[in-house]
Amino acid sequence: MMQAADLPDTIPVFPLPGALLLPRSRLPLHIFEPRYLQMLEDALKTPQRLIGMVQTCGAPGKPDALHSIGCAGRVTQFSETEDGRYLITLTGISRYRILNEVEGFAPYRRCAVSWDGFDRDLGQEESDPGFDRARFLDLLGRFLSARELQTDWETLKQAEEELLINSLSMLLDFNPEDKQALLEAPSLETRRETLVTLIEYTMRGGSNEETLQ
């Protein structure tokens, strides 16, 4: 397990709207752009092998502006294809706050970051004392059924709370701002509440009707 003292002050960042990485979760990525191939090569040369996932926020006049909070992942798996692309897996280590973007000669973006305030990301798996699995899975079932999607229900019934909530937060098709809200949730309980709200809101077609029961 990585310690706070191991985390660097500057990391490469990979802006990717809609892609969410959370601590202790895994995100598969397909790397093929030359600048990101260089980023991967450079990251693999460092002891931490960290890449910071972050979303753009589309600020007026700054379409490539970054959200202030992202999540760094360690490259834990990678394989090269015959044509020079890479398939990698990032394992979430900790969220971070961007202090400023660092100028330099690298073709990819780098940022000075602070890890303060995200201590629980480096700890043990979180629990959610208020989690009602049966009710949550019932809601999820209605959500997936409405979209004619299927899942492995036995796996969902047995998954640990954090793995279940974080995996669904990463996989379900919400817009980038909703994904950012899930990322910034201060606790697993808050993330689960946010996830439920987003599922219910989507099932209502984006209206402000009463919460589904």
Strand partners, 69: 97
Contact in structure between 111 and 15 (CB atoms under 8 Å): no
**Alpha-carbon gap, residue 173 to 111, rounded angstroms:** 28
Q: Is the pTM of this model over 0.85?
A: yes
Full pLDDT tens readout for the chain, 213 residues: 788 889 999 999 999 988 999 999 999 999 999 999 999 999 999 999 999 999 988 767 777 889 999 999 999 999 999 998 999 999 999 999 999 999 988 999 999 999 999 999 998 999 999 999 999 999 999 999 888 888 888 888 899 999 999 999 999 989 999 999 999 999 999 999 999 999 999 888 764 443 333
